[in-house]
């Protein structure tokens, strides 16, 4: 039990250091932290990975840069949708997916979850067949 308490205190100390670093050196993380489910680690990793956000013309390009878009395998008239490409920074991708699970899971607010549920329920394309 002492080991668990000691480790818990060390983790809290690192969390405080991470919070201080993100506030002092990278104030742009505060904008990201306004999103429910985004903590200092995810926000800081996002900012440091993208470096200059102005190099992306569209916000959709960021998803492709991080490997969060489906891979494509076009052949003739076939265009099957595959899994995400998983290109880019693996740690940031895992943190973003974890944040999405938090937001859309039981801890997220209903104002976020309900519209997402309605989109998934709407019959269209491949989802309607599943």
Query: What tens digit of pLDDT does each residue of 94-120 get?
Result: 999 898 888 877 777 766 656 665 566
DSSP state, residue 99: H
The answer to whether residue 51 scores a pLDDT higher than 90 is no
Q: Which comes out higher in pLDDT, residue 130 or 96?
A: 96
More confident residue, 50 or 122: 50
Domain boundaries, the chain: 2-55+89-129, 56-88
The Cα diameter of the chain in Å comes to: 63
pLDDT tens-place string over residues 17-34: 999 999 999 999 999 998
Position with higher pLDDT, 71 vs 17:
17
Q: To 10 degrees, the CA torsion angle through 62, 63, 65, 68?
A: 170
Torsion of CA 52, 53, 54, 56, to 10 degrees: 120
pLDDT at 12 over 50: yes
Of the candidates 76, 11, 7, 15, which has an alpha carbon nearest to the alpha carbon of residue 43? 15
């Amino acid at each position: 039990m002492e080991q668990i308490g000691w480790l818990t205190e060390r983790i809290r100390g690192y969390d405080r250091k991470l919070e201080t670093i993100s506030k002092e050196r990278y104030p742009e993380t505060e904008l990201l932290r306004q999103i429910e489910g985004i903590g200092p680690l995810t926000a800081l990793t996002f900012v440091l990975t993208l470096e200059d956000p102005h190099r992306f013309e569209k916000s959709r390009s960021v998803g492709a840069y991080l490997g969060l878009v489906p891979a494509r395998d076009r052949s003739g008239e076939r265009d099957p949708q595959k899994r995400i490409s998983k290109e880019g920074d693996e740690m940031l991708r895992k943190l973003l997916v974890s944040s999405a699970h938090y937001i859309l899971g039981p801890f997220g607010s209903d104002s976020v979850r309900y519209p997402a549920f309605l989109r998934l329920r709407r019959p269209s394309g491949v989802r309607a067949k599943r």
